[in-house]
């Protein structure tokens, strides 16, 4: 089992969904989630969320993690057989589809789900910016490249200004 730094523990266990969204916004990387039926009365729920880099590596607030680790950490041996049988990895290329899936899974609690995300988005983005990007150079570089692609004013100008006479 991997060691998770205390300053990101809640962003791995509990707030991973918003952390993944903040990582997606920073890097532009695809979102992923592990869903499973934990309660037959409630239906499928998302057990964990992350982003996937272009080389296929998975990242959450705790850093790099692989699919086997995600399954072992978030679908434990103590889970019901139905949970293991229904566990599946899902991916979304954009925020809209990711949020739609969360709202589907929330069912009658969709409004609460939307409000919960909204209440944590700023904190998650600050955590990514202030903790994860400095800690993980790969994330920082991806965020820099993504910012350049999405905000042309972010990119350094390659054209030398003419001197003023």
Which range of residues forms the domain containing residue 123?
6-134
Res. 159 pLDDT band, cuts 50 70 90: very low
**Domain-located, residue 156:** no
- pLDDT (tens digit, 9 = 90+) per residue, 37-89? 988 888 999 999 999 999 999 999 999 999 999 999 999 999 999 999 999 99
Domain assignment present for 154: no
Domain count, the chain: 1
Residue 1 lies in a domain: no
60-92 burial, b at 16+ Cβ within 10 Å, e below that, comes to bbbbebeeeebbebbbeeeeeeebeebbeeeeb
Tens of pLDDT, residues 89-120: 999 999 999 999 999 999 999 999 999 999 99
pLDDT tens digits, residue range 133-151? Answer: 999 999 999 999 999 988 7
3-state secondary structure string across the chain:
CCCCCHHHHHHHCCCHHHHHHHHHHHHCCEEEEEEEEEECCCEEEEEEEEEECCCCCEEECCEEECHHHHHHHHCCCCCCHHHHHHCEEEEECCHHHHHHHHHHHHHHHHHHHHHHHHHHHHHHHHHHHHHHHHHCHHHHHHHHHHHHHHCCCCCCCCCCCCCCC
């Amino acid at each position: 089992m991997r060691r998770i730094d205390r300053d990101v523990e809640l962003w791995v266990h509990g707030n991973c969904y918003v952390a993944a969204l903040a990582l997606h916004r920073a890097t532009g990387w695809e979102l992923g989630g592990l869903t499973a039926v934990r309660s037959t009365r409630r239906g499928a729920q998302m057990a964990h969320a992350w982003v996937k880099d272009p080389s296929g590596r998975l990242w959450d607030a705790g850093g790099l993690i692989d699919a086997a680790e995600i399954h072992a950490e978030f679908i434990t041996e103590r889970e019901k057989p139905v949970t293991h049988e229904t566990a599946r990895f899902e991916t979304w290329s954009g925020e809209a589809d990711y949020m739609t899936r969360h709202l589907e899974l929330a069912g009658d609690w969709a409004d609460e789900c939307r409000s919960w995300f909204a209440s944590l988005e700023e904190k998650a983005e600050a955590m990514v910016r202030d903790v994860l990007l400095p800690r993980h150079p790969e994330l920082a570089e991806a965020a820099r490249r993504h910012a350049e692609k999405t905000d042309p004013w972010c990119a350094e100008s390659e054209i030398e200004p003419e001197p003023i006479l």
